[in-house]
């Protein structure tokens, strides 16, 4: 539906707002990398500029190891989680969306004035951690296609002190982890400590615990079936220069134990950690797209990074969209054939009537307006499906154009190159064959020549081409003005083609 609304903006003609195309070239100003995984899939996100505003792109690795590109998407992610084969993205406004190989869906906030901060998958369900209007830490659960009606308050977590929280499911427990400033070591090179709280298998929250770990950055936490680990920065073993360290959680003493610095080519830029069915993966920013590397937890070593490249099979949703386009176009063709049979009989009858009596009355303006609105809605609805299937980047570009008010002539020309042939072809074919479009048939009006003879394709072509002028500057204002001031209600296309829009079933005024 959003592509339909965007394409309807093309009715304004060439007077449209512009955009940033937001395709594969998305140079980020301050790129960040996020990652989320489970046993079936892995998602990697890179933030940047989309249509002049903050946004992100994402890549999905399926069970066969093939990458698929998605986005770009407008909005800054506040939290992400892999849920089955979909990616859950939570935005600072509280809205959330599901992304994957199918068309994305965006939903309103599950709780009014809720600020999300972290999320994770929990078996067939998903959990999201954030804060409500009172400032209390709260947990929401997504199960059975719906969110919990009331947030679960998590005591002991202060919003102002709990920095960059993470949510992880491990060992039958749900963990909330965050870094907190160390009060007894002002000016220390590792000025934060790792703190965490967990909900046990019985559903009871344990009081927050303080780890022995001292960190100099946010912690990146992930878990698989056997381990829960975290990556963090602090001064390295060779001096004050920061380095990445690895720590693992031990259920025996309920604390974190440092394994040592991570070996391998890992920089100090943006980084993300995710657990998958094959172990742990680290994602880092490299140019305009991220790169991933496998993390050997036992050896505390990072394997070489490989850039993420979308090389998998085509998006299956495109096939579904293509079949939908074919089905709709087939239905239109069938309706046109039926109208052609009926219209041919009607045109013959009108020609016979023209010799013996006055023709039918001209159609009322409101009938013509409703008919053309129905026709544009139908044609551009088919076009929106086609754009969604064949050119998703154009849809994102048009979305940026409508939102930012800046002209992008490339996207605008592509839009017109799609819209104009569809409009001209549809009206020429329908009116040339039958004298009617589907909209006119619904309103029981039709087009005929002023002398009562059948319309024919020559007049239909002239009438349809000049429609592009009649619809300027917007909403057929020029054509409407001509209809109102004409002795016989005719727009420019009617005058040039010598046609009238009539209501055969109407009554002529006395």
Range 389-394 average pLDDT: 60
Q: Which distant-in-sequence residues (6+ apart) come within 8 Å of 271 by Cβ? A: 33, 220, 231, 244, 282, 283, 284
Range 254-259 average pLDDT: 92
The answer to which of 31-45, 85-99, 496-510 has the lowest mean pLDDT is: 496-510
pLDDT greater at residue 460 or residue 400: 460
Cα 66 to Cα 322: distance, rounded to the nearest angstrom = 23
Q: What is the pLDDT of residues 217-231, one digit of tens each?
A: 889 999 988 899 999
Q: Indicate whether 310 pLDDT > 50.
A: yes
On average, the pLDDT of the chain sits at 79
Per-residue confidence (pLDDT) for residue 217, from 0 to 100: 84
Secondary structure of residue 275 in the 3-state scheme: strand
Per-residue confidence (pLDDT) for residue 300, from 0 to 100: 92
Range 298-322 average pLDDT: 68
pLDDT greater at residue 43 or residue 413: 43
Indicate the domain borders of the chain.
Answer: 77-154, 316-502
pLDDT greater at residue 332 or residue 366: 366
Range 240-250 average pLDDT: 88
Cα 265 to Cα 246: distance, rounded to the nearest angstrom = 15
Cα 73 to Cα 400: distance, rounded to the nearest angstrom = 10
pLDDT band at 247 (very low <50, low <70, confident <90, very high): very high
User: In the chain, what percentage of residues exceed pLDDT 90?
Assistant: 34
Per-residue confidence (pLDDT) for residue 326, from 0 to 100: 53
Q: Indicate whether 312 pLDDT > 60.
A: no
Per-residue confidence (pLDDT) for residue 343, from 0 to 100: 53
Per-residue confidence (pLDDT) for residue 491, from 0 to 100: 93
pLDDT greater at residue 1 or residue 105: 105
pLDDT band at 320 (very low <50, low <70, confident <90, very high): very low
Cα 507 to Cα 510: distance, rounded to the nearest angstrom = 9
Please report where in the chains the tokens 């009206």 appear, as a residue. Answer: 427
Q: Phi first, then psi: what are they for 345, rounded to 5°?
A: -65, -40
Q: What is the pLDDT of residues 10-33, one digit of tens each?
A: 433 323 322 322 233 333 345 688
**What pTM was computed for the model?**
0.58
- CA 8-13-16 angle, to 5 degrees, is 75
The answer to which of 68-82, 138-152, 176-190, 328-342 has the lowest mean pLDDT is: 328-342
The answer to which of 68-77, 266-275, 389-398, 399-408 has the lowest mean pLDDT is: 399-408
Q: Secondary structure of 222-244 in the HEC alphabet? A: EECCCCEEEEEEEECCCCCCEEE
> CA 237: distance to chain centroid?
45
167 in Cβ contact with 174 (< 8 Å): yes
Domain 77-154 - what CATH class?
A: mainly beta
Per-residue confidence (pLDDT) for residue 314, from 0 to 100: 39
Per-residue confidence (pLDDT) for residue 186, from 0 to 100: 56
Per-residue confidence (pLDDT) for residue 190, from 0 to 100: 78
Per-residue confidence (pLDDT) for residue 11, from 0 to 100: 36
The answer to which of 2-6, 283-287, 323-327 has the lowest mean pLDDT is: 2-6
Please report where in the chains the tokens 């919003």 appear, as a residue. Answer: 159
pLDDT band at 72 (very low <50, low <70, confident <90, very high): confident
């Amino acid at each position: 539906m959003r592509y339909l609304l965007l394409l309807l903006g093309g009715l304004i003609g060439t007077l449209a707002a512009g955009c940033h195309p937001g395709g594969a070239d998305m140079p980020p100003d301050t790129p960040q990398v996020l990652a989320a995984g489970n046993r079936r899939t892995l998602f990697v996100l890179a933030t940047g500029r989309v249509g002049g505003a903050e946004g992100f792109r994402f890549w999905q690795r399926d069970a066969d190891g093939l990458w698929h590109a998605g986005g770009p998407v407008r909005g800054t992610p506040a939290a992400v989680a892999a849920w089955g084969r979909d990616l859950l993205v939570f935005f600072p406004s509280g809205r959330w969306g599901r992304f994957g190989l199918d068309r994305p869906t965006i939903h309103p906030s599950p709780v009014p004035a809720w600020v999300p901060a972290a999320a994770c998958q929990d078996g067939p369900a998903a959990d999201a951690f954030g804060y409500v209007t009172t400032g209390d830490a709260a947990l929401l659960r997504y199960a059975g296609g719906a969110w919990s009606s009331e947030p679960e308050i998590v005591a002991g977590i202060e919003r102002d002190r709990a920095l960059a929280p993470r949510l992880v499911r491990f060992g039958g427990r749900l963990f909330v982890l965050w870094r907190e400033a160390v009060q007894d070591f002002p000016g220390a090179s590792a000025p934060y400590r790792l703190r965490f709280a967990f909900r046990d298998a019985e559903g009871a929250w344990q009081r927050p615990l303080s780890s022995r770990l001292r960190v100099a950055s946010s912690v990146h936490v992930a878990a698989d079936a056997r381990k829960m680990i975290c990556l963090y920065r602090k001064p390295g073993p060779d001096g004050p220069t920061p380095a990445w360290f690895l720590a693992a959680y031990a259920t025996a003493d309920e604390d974190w134990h440092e394994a040592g610095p991570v070996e391998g080519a890992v920089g100090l830029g943006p980084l993300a950690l995710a657990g998958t069915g094959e172990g742990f993966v680290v994602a880092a920013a490299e140019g305009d797209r991220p790169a991933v590397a496998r993390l050997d937890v036992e050896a505390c070593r990072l394997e070489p990074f490989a850039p993420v490249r979308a090389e998998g099979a085509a998006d299956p949703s495109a096939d579904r969209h293509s079949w939908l386009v074919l089905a709709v176009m087939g239905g239109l063709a069938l309706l046109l054939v039926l109208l052609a049979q009926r219209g041919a009989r009607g045109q013959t009858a009108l020609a016979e009537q023209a010799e013996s009596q006055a023709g039918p009355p001209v159609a009322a303006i409101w009938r013509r307006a409703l008919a053309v609105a129905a026709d544009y809605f139908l044609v551009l609805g088919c076009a929106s499906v086609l754009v969604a299937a064949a050119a998703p980047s154009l849809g994102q570009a048009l979305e940026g154009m409508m939102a930012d008010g800046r002209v992008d002539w490339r996207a605008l020309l592509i839009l017109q190159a799609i819209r104009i042939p569809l409009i001209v072809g549809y009206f020429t074919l329908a009116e040339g064959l039958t004298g009617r479009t589907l909209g006119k048939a619904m309103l029981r009006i039709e087009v005929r020549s002023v002398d009562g003879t059948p319309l024919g394709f020559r007049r239909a072509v002239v009438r349809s081409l000049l429609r592009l002028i009649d619809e300027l500057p917007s909403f057929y204002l020029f054509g409407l003005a001509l209809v109102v001031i004409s002795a016989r209600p005719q727009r420019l296309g009617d005058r040039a083609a010598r046609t009238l829009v009539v209501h055969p079933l109407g009554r002529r005024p006395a």
